[in-house]
Amino acid sequence: MSFNTFGRVFRFTTWGESHGPAIGCVVDGVPSRLSLKAEDIQFWMDRRRPGQSKFTTQRQEPDAVEILSGVFDGQTTGTPISLMIRNVDQKSKDYGDIAERFRPGHADYTYHMKYGIRDYRGGGRSSARETASRVAAGAVARKVLEAAGVKIRGALVQMGELSIDRRRWDWDEVERNPFWCPDAGMVQTFEDYLLAIRKEGSSVGAIIEVVAEGVPVGWGAPIYGKLDADLASAMMSINAVKAVEIGDGFSAATLRGEQNADEMRKSGGGVAFQSNHAGGILGGISSGQPVVVRFAVKPTSSILTPVQSVTASGEEVDLITKGRHDPCVGIRAVPVGEAMMACVLADHFMLHRAQQG
């Protein structure tokens, strides 16, 4: 069923709960002789790590990755790579009051009804903490993609009602602000907006865009292994994500055929597309243009405003979720979206090789 496994030939399995001793993943199918050190992975972990700015949860987790297998003398050996991240700052007391109460918007109620038991501490398995394992797996995927020259970057393009101005897009700016915002002109606006929301004990949603450049034409596959179908599954599996689009996405529904056409001209020995409405994917296969994915993250469900709920024993309650929460969990979804893009592409890179004679 692969409920906790993602991918076909580049595959990873994640495990662990928010407040257990550790979380981690096993990455299988990795080609041998790739240079890989814990620091290579740590670099990406540090980008997702909580507690780095006043806009993310104050949980202090070093998120130090240990490589337990699959690497020898600094190189991958082709055997499964087991990565472990110890949970350090668990503060279980914070969460004791949710043992019985179902937090609306969280998986408390559904886990309870499905499994009859749940590790309620910090959301247990359904915590966004699981995404640290994805980032670790994504770091390995990036190593696989290095040979192909693929570059993956993500950015936050909308927070609540506020959108960036795409004409001011600057990838360098993304690294300079705590929102992964590519529009320098919106950084202060986002900051003021989010501080106000946090002050109110509220939260807000966001839209993230991830772009992969350098993907050659031909990766992906018809029909149920389409590159875009795999990306949709990958992004939708991230906590709090409610929507995914490729290229123009929902806007494509409003277009005429001639507006949506990505016209082609000759260019050197190849082809130059005149636009990229398709987001770099045609018929499930990469076209050689940048692969563009956007996804929506709902507002953090844990807020200080009381919401109506019920308890496991059937009592009605008004619930306030204290604890250390991100006012906009979408921010930390940026490195996670990048990681999932990397995993999908590494998988299809390898699958493509399998079929080439």
Q: How far apart are CA 354 and CA 253, in angstroms?
A: 35
Stretch that binds a copy of itself, among 41-49, 54-62, 106-114, 168-176 (CB under 8 A): 106-114
In the list 2, 93, 167, 172, the residue contacting a copy of itself (rule: CB under 8 A) is 2
- SS3 (DSSP) at 326: coil
Count of residues in contact with a copy of itself, rule CB under 8 A: 152
- SS3 (DSSP) at 95: helix
Q: How far apart are CA 78 and CA 70, in angstroms?
A: 7
Q: How far apart are CA 174 and CA 153, in angstroms?
A: 9
Dig out the tokens for 280 from the structure.
């770099």
Dig out the tokens for 300 from the structure.
């953090």
**43-82 footprint of a copy of itself as x/- string (CB under 8 A):** -----------------------x-xxx-xx-xxxxxxxx
By the 10 Å C-beta count (0-12 exposed, 13-18 middle, 19+ buried), 166 is classed as exposed
Least separation in angstroms between CB 138 and a copy of itself: 14
Stretch that binds a copy of itself, among 45-53, 56-64, 182-190, 275-283 (CB under 8 A): 275-283
| Residues 6-25 close enough to bind a copy of itself by CB under 8 A | 6, 8-9, 11, 13-17, 20-24
Does 290 bind a copy of itself (CB under 8 A)? Our answer is no
Count the Cβ atoms, other than its own, within 10 Å of residue 85: 23
| Residues 203-222 close enough to bind a copy of itself by CB under 8 A | 203-207, 217-218, 220-222
Cβ proximity to a copy of itself: between 90 and 300 the closer is 300
In the list 297, 331, 342, 345, the residue contacting a copy of itself (rule: CB under 8 A) is 297
Of the candidates 169, 271, 171, the one whose C-alpha atom is nearest the C-alpha of residue 216 is 271
Least separation in angstroms between CB 153 and a copy of itself: 20
Per-position b or e across 89-105, b if 16+ CB within 10 A of its CB: ebeeebbeebeebbbbb
Cβ proximity to a copy of itself: between 109 and 169 the closer is 109
In the list 60, 169, 310, 323, the residue contacting a copy of itself (rule: CB under 8 A) is 310
Does 130 bind a copy of itself (CB under 8 A)? Our answer is yes
Least separation in angstroms between CB 47 and a copy of itself: 21
What DSSP state is assigned to residue 261?
-
Does 195 bind a copy of itself (CB under 8 A)? Our answer is no
| Residues 311-340 close enough to bind a copy of itself by CB under 8 A | 314-316, 330
Q: Are 183 and 169 in contact (CB under 8 A)?
A: yes
Question: Residue 309 forms beta bridges with which residues?
Answer: 317
Least separation in angstroms between CB 278 and a copy of itself: 7
Dig out the tokens for 166 from the structure.
């795409």
Does 109 bind a copy of itself (CB under 8 A)? Our answer is yes
CA angle 316–318–319, rounded 5-degree value: 115
Cβ proximity to a copy of itself: between 152 and 232 the closer is 232
